Amino acid sequence: DAKTTQPPSMDCAEGRAANLPCNHSTISGNEYVYWYRQIHSQGPQYIIHGLKNNETNEMASLIITEDRKSSTLILPHATLRDTAVYYCIVRVYNQGGKLIFGQGTELSVKP
Amino acid sequence: DVKVTQSSRYLVKRTGEKVFLECVQDMDHENMFWYRQDPGLGLRLIYFSYDVKMKEKGDIPEGYSVSREKKERFSLILESASTNQTSMYLCASSSVRLLQETQYFGPGTRLLVL
């Protein structure tokens, strides 16, 4: 079972920051938080991951709370092409490190 | 950039046919995975492989087999396709050496079994 909770849907205006929350209150000390997104009918795309420090790359920023029970993915300037389902995943390391996707957040970026 | 390719984007097969889905990655990754994705069920792991000729069952291996004869290629075989195997099939690969084994996915194959 997925160890994360996300809102089912969110809207964001084009050009504004999109802040996608995720709760993972049962996370263990050595478990990473990963974010992927999936545009309709395509394979999931890796975005970013982190353990306890905030992380930033060319796609997004990841803010993890100090107690690690929640995190926020930030897309700083959302575009229409960012419309997708965003998945927050707590990584488990059994079965080769399989990914357990929950229901995700469907982000709609509107003009 | 990591590239994972799958042999077909869309496939239509008849019940009872043998179906081959191929996946190729170009980053010398050790691990490769096959998932299926169905509405409301998320991704479910079918098989994975951590080395050439090695394979491990995932959560739903029944009705499937796999082959990994070369490091870059991982094939999923449906021995006798059935309608309940209509699904989106996703291949992924990861390296044990990099980035906490981040998995990179292919574009997916949408299989319809009639």
Rounded to a whole number of angstroms, the CA Rg of chain B reads 13
Mutate to test the interface with B, among A1, A31, A46, A105 (most CBs of B within 10 A): A46
Q: Which B residues, 68 through 87, put their C-beta within 8 Å of a C-beta on chain A?
A: none
Q: What is the pLDDT of residues B12-69, one digit of tens each?
A: 999 999 999 999 999 999 999 999 999 888 889 999 999 999 999 999 999 999 999 9
Among A80, A81, A101, A82, smallest CA distance to A92 is for A101
At residue B83 the predicted structure's pLDDT band, cuts being 50, 70 and 90, is very high
The yes-or-no verdict on residue A101 having pLDDT over 90 is: no
pLDDT at A67: 93
3-state DSSP of A41-75: CCCCEEEEEECCCCEECCCCEEEECCCCCEEEEEE
Q: Could B103 and A43 be called an inter-chain contact, meaning their C-beta atoms sit closer than 8 Å?
A: no
Q: Does residue B47 sit at the A interface (CB-CB below 8 Å)?
A: no
With H, G, I as helix, E, B as strand and everything else as coil, classify residue B101: helix
- pLDDT for A102: 83
CB B71 within 8 A of CB B28: yes
Facing residue for A43 by CB, picked from B56, B94, B107: B107
How far A36 CA sits from the closest chain B CA (Å)?
10
- What integer pLDDT is reported at residue B99 of this predicted model? 55
DSSP class of residue B84? G
pLDDT at B2 over 70: no
Chain A CA closest to residue B48? A96
Closest partner residue to A43 (CB to CB) among B45, B102, B106 is B106
pLDDT digits (tens, 9 = 90+) for A58-95: 999 999 999 999 999 999 999 999 999 999 998 877 77
Q: Is B110 on the interface with A (CB under 8 A)?
A: yes
Average pLDDT, chain A: 92
